[in-house]
Homo-oligomer: A and B are copies of this chain.
Amino acid sequence: MSINYPDGRRSKAQQTTAIKRKGSAANRGMQLESLINVANTYYIENNIAVITKRPTPINVVKIDYKKGAKIVDAYFEKQSTTDYNGVYRKVYLDFEAKSTQLKTSFPLNNIYEHQITHLQNVIKHGGIAFFIIEFSTLSEIYVVPAALIIDFIKNNTRKSIPYPTVKKSGILIELSFNPILNYLPAVQKLFNL
């Protein structure tokens, strides 16, 4: 669940997996998270940015110390902030990645209120806040400013953002060979970095 700091072998293995998936099973099974992790490893290795995934928080209830600190009772918790943050061109970045199978809109019910609050705070302190939104059926992945999502939630009663709004306000990530999900050029363009 956690991204390890880059070592060549792991990174290569991850990339190969992602490429195979792309070639064989189209978008089915291609996980947005793993594509972002591969991109982040590439960015660190190639001195482009330092962006890491926050480990999934786990509430540990019981540890068996007789078995070498084996955790025997624990539960996954919701991430209290967002999944990713880091530094790129001296700027603090913070973002969340979400995927939908719908073609006409992006449902807002899987964005949590505390994530919106967190991203608002990030913007307030001069950071860059955005979402990476995948329309998996359309094979399109966008970088969308968090400010747009926040405004939309405040000014609309509907529970999803229409696809044309995402298309107009976000920037489509152009897939490349390495890394496949090279999302930073879209971020750079969107925020004039």
Contacts and interface: CB of A to CB of B under 8 A. Distances in A.
Given A2-B57, A50-B122, A52-B80, 13 more contacts: A1-B60, A2-B77, A2-B80, A5-B80, A50-B124, A50-B125, A54-B55, A55-B55, A70-B74, A85-B85, A89-B125, A90-B92, A91-B126
Contacts of A76: 69, 71
A74 to B, nearest CB: 4
B74 A71 contact: yes
Interface in A59-95: 59-60, 68-77, 80-81, 85-92, 94
B125 A49 contact: yes
A124 B94 CA distance: 19
10 contacts: A1-B58, A2-B57, A2-B77, A5-B117, A47-B124, A49-B125, A52-B54, A52-B81, A68-B75, A87-B127
A101 interface: no
